[in-house]
Chains A and B, each alone.
Chain A
Amino acid sequence: MPDLSFVFAQSLSGLTAAMFLFLIASGLSLIFGVLRVLNFAHGTFYMLGAYSAYQIVQWLGTGPVTFWVAALGAATGVALLGGIVERFLFQRLYGKEELYQLLFTYALVLILSDVARIIWGTQQKSVGRPPGLTGAVSVFGATIPDYNLFIILLGPAIALGFWYVLQRTRIGRFIRAAALDRETLGALGVNVRALYTGVFMLASFLGGLGGALISPMRAIVPGMDTEVIVEAFVVVVIGGLGSFWGTFLGALIYGQVLSFGILFFPRFSIFSIFALMAAVLIVRPWGLLGRPLK
């Protein structure tokens, strides 16, 4: 029986990973829920968020709020890029075969990650932790960095904010309606095209924010996009494509399985994640909290 504080520390590290993945996967899930497209480029938006945050920090130098300005700036930049891509390219593929939509998002992966390589090179980049969050606290005998704690708290805060927007606001009602029946929504006079662009931008914003926020914890390198997109896929598939709380649950499960899988099967924790995903798909193709597609 391992030491309890060790188990606790391990589950906290799993929780940190989970909240990050939730941030990224929620955008992926939102796009799937409304636009019915699996966006391979979402991981690339995340990578661009990380690189942009690094760049803005370089420009601004160190200051008490630099990091936060950089994170929001990077996410906004990525959201604008997402909006342009949706408005001028992606919109023409609606109604075409899924394969074409999937491959278009894959083309974006190829193009954007090479553009990132041209701008930032292949050397790994890093961003320091924001001032005020550089220390660590001790919780039940487990030491946890302040920044991780911040992420653990931020995850649920974003989830609640998201939930509030979706459930309680006019825009949220439109988004939910678009996910259920876009034709009727259009017939009611809602500008579905603009709504789609907005949803795409919001999702891109979340992806970019995820990348910016992970930059103090992980090295920023080419290839971080293809790695994370598969992780985010697993999360949304386990939770249920397009289901908001499902994504949250999927991220929690992913974080814990990964974190404890490393303890018990050091070599096969990646394997256990994919096996879990396959098992969920076999039993409930629409995921734990998802709804079957019509």
Chain B
Amino acid sequence: MKRLGSRWPVLVLIAAFFVPALGSRYYTFLANDVVIWALFATSLNLLVGYTGLVSFGHAAYFGIGAYTTGLLMKKAGVPFLLAFPAAGLLAGLFAVVFGFFCVRLTRIYFAMLTLAFAQIVWAICFKWNEVTGGEQGMPEIPYPDFAWLERVASAVPWLGGYRTSEYFYFLTLLMVGGCLWLLRRIVGSPFGRMLTTIRENPERAEFIGVNVRRYELGAFVIAGAFAGLAGGLFGIFNRGVFPDFAYWTKSSEVLIMTLLGGMGSFFGPALGALVLLWLNQQIVSYTQYWPLILGTILVVLLFVFPGGIAGAALGLGRRLMRGAARA
């Protein structure tokens, strides 16, 4: 039981590699979307769930990452392997500057300042036509170069025959898998445990000599950098980068995913991304009123399952265990 408990993320990752083998372009597309948003939501959860900082501007770093990769790959012809880490790096750098000011504020003011910075990023992306393409955004971001991979794969009997978008999905899986592993290590480290302590009681943490602001800034920068990486992948996946990547409604979407999955668990937000995107795909084929449904889901969540899916599942599990123990 214990072994399975720690191994299942790896099993999920391996299973995810077989999605394109199902042969449906649509499922691969959906899975790719989910994987990228899972990273975005998990990075936000480091702030909201672990550190107790409610950021309303997380889309800023997602947008910065997307524009970084997009600009480097489209305008400068930089290969993906350099453009991708650059997204995390630049988003992280912006997070250092913005975070320096944000972590000095608390609660609602923190949320407002993160929102203000995100709107600044959005306004720049929206208006700086020469560089960002302004309102029109930047279409036709190239895929990474998979020519060599296709040549190698076609030599192996059952590996060839995939499309470029499917190779990109495999690449996304590897990158996000690596990022999630790193984030998991961070959360489990003494640094990560200190973040939880700060969330529970910042005054006490301060009292025992912890530099609370420095830890919060650390969390802010790490969360921003990983959101940037998610954005870098999203620009390529989306085949273009647009200013609404950094708009405040994107920040609330990712917050909803995080809440839906459950802020109390590491993989909760990823689960939230899966459920929300899958629901979205299902529902938009029946009705154009997706926001109405999303809003309703959100209201039900807030009033009935404030712990999200992971919280509800844990609660149910505990109740079953108690029942079993009594019987």
Contacts and interface: CB of A to CB of B under 8 A. Distances in A.
Interface stretch (B24-32, B33-41, B104-112): B104-112
Given A113-B291, A233-B112, A274-B119, A103 B127 contact: no
Interface stretch (A59-67, A208-216, A280-288): A280-288
A92 B119 contact: no
B252 A103 contact: yes
B292 A114 contact: yes
Interface stretch (A93-101, A137-145, A169-177): A93-101
Contact of A38 (B108, B113, B120, B124): B108
A234 B126 CA distance: 18
Contacts of B306: 96, 100
Interface residues of A, number: 42
B277 interface: no
B117 A268 contact: no
- Centre residue among B104, B259, B292, B295 by max chain A CB count within 10 A: B295
Contacts of B117: 274, 278
B112 A38 contact: yes
Contact of B123 (A93, A113, A118, A270): A270
Contacts, number: 113
Contact of B56 (A102, A109, A237): A102
A267 to B, nearest CB: 5
Contacts of A293: 107-109
Please provide the 7 A-B residue pairs with the shortest distance between their CB atoms, ordered closest to farther. Answer: A110-B295, A111-B295, A114-B292, A107-B298, A110-B291, A271-B123, A107-B295
Interface in B86-110: 101, 104-105, 107-109
B249 A226 contact: yes
Interface of A: 36, 38, 89, 92-93, 96, 98-100, 102-104, 106-111, 113-115, 117-118, 226, 230, 233-234, 237, 241, 267-268, 270-271, 274-275, 277-278, 281-282, 285-286, 293
A109 B101 contact: no
B259 A103 contact: yes
A274 B299 contact: no
Contact of A114 (B48, B101, B289): B289
Contacts of B294: 110
B255 interface: yes
A271 to B, nearest CB: 4
B252 A278 contact: no
Given A108-B295, A241-B108, 19 more contacts: A38-B108, A96-B306, A102-B56, A104-B298, A104-B299, A107-B295, A110-B292, A110-B298, A111-B296, A114-B291, A114-B295, A117-B289, A118-B289, A226-B249, A234-B116, A267-B129, A271-B120, A271-B127, A278-B117
